[in-house]
Amino acid sequence: MQKVFLHVDLDAFFASVEQLDNPQYRGKPVIVGGHRGMRRGVVSTASYEARAFGVHSAMPLFMAEKLCPQGIFLPGRMHRYHEKSEEVMAIFKEYSPDIHQISVDEAFIDLTGTERLFGPAEETAKRLKKEIKEKTGLTVSVGVASTKYVAKIASGLKKPDGLCVVPFGKECDFMLSLPLEKLWGAGTKTLARLRQFGILTTRNIYERSLPLLQSIFGKAGGLFLYNAVRGNESEDFNQETKSRSISAENTYTYDLTDSEAIETALLQLCHTVMFRALKEKLRSKTVALKIRYEDFSTFTAQDTRERDVSSIEDFFERVKALFFKKYQNGMGIRLLGVGLQNVEDSTKPRQQELFEFGDRKKTQSRRSDSKSLAEKS
């Protein structure tokens, strides 16, 4: 049976939620990440009005203020963003039981075999977009293709409120029609190195052999490029086993090198995973980390302790400690992922520890007031 995937991406999500909740911000450059005048901190999301001034995610706030002095700078409200994300994900589940949420603002929907219920995938995508707008007030961009990788690229081509369908059998033609800059997963250093070797188009990559690409970019990088321009699945998009783990990951448009940008990215991922753990009443003693560098090399690590992760703050501190233990300093980061592994039902009783270290109190406080905890971040 032919696979059919939708990749659905909420447009400028954090900024769009702020504009939805605050009508006075609509049509204006909104920059989420911190207050005006902050010397530290980075942009989490910029509205399309702000992007017109060159503002982008992971940019230092002080630089964003220079580029867009009239911008509306907001610290962010993670709990509210997760509320709206949950509204959207609930709609997705009406279309397919196979939803792979990879971050707070994007997910894959496997529509394989649903044509008899919903009709052609393109019509389903249009109906989905309309329903999300009517029920949540938000817009999404959707890509439709036979692989997740191609669907991911397609969803970004006609933003905002876009729809791009890549017909089955046309994946390679689609990839070869794109400029190098649209090769999702290839960062600025990879693009510069491609040009250094006279590789200026996706077709130029297609014309190079796998051994040649691997001699330039290494085994992982060469294989990625070889598969990407052919429309093959170039990312693993690790499917988690729900009964064993929950995770979130994000691939960044710009290589992350600044420690502030990296920590902000990790914190946002921790929020996404912890929000799901609370909602699904799960607990875990094991945190997991995934790092993909600018050369496409990928490393994973995990840390298990005697006590459960007790709060967003605890989760973030464990992930951060693991990151700086494993990070190859100076290497640009293309992708970050965090997760909780070996999860179990938190409602099931467990033998009491002799010393609680204040965890029970912290966990109860977290559950009763997770909103205020999330918004502090």
Catalytic residues: 106
Cβ atoms < 10 Å from Cβ of 248: 22
Rounded to an integer, what distance in angstroms lies between the CA atom of residue 35 and that of residue 121?
42
Query: In Å, how far are 50, 188, 231, 236, 334 from 253, measured between CA atoms?
Result: 16, 9, 19, 18, 8
Cβ distance 377 to 85 under 8 Å? Answer: no
Q: Is 336 exposed, middle or buried (0-12, 13-18, 19+ CB in 10 A)?
A: buried
Rounded to an integer, what distance in angstroms lies between the CA atom of residue 275 and that of residue 104?
10
Is the torsion defined by CA of 222, 223, 224, 225 positive or negative? positive
Q: Virtual CA dihedral for 57, 280, 299, 304, nearest 10 degrees?
A: 130
Q: What is the 3-state secondary structure (H, E, C) of 46-110?
A: ECHHHHCCCCCCCCEHHHHHHHCCCCEEECCCHHHHHHHHHHHHHHHCCCCCCEEEEECCEEEEE
Nearest residue to 302 (alpha-carbon basis) of 219, 223, 245: 245
Q: Is 264 exposed, middle or buried (0-12, 13-18, 19+ CB in 10 A)?
A: buried
Q: Virtual CA dihedral for 253, 90, 337, 332, nearest 10 degrees?
A: 10
Cβ distance 16 to 139 under 8 Å? Answer: yes
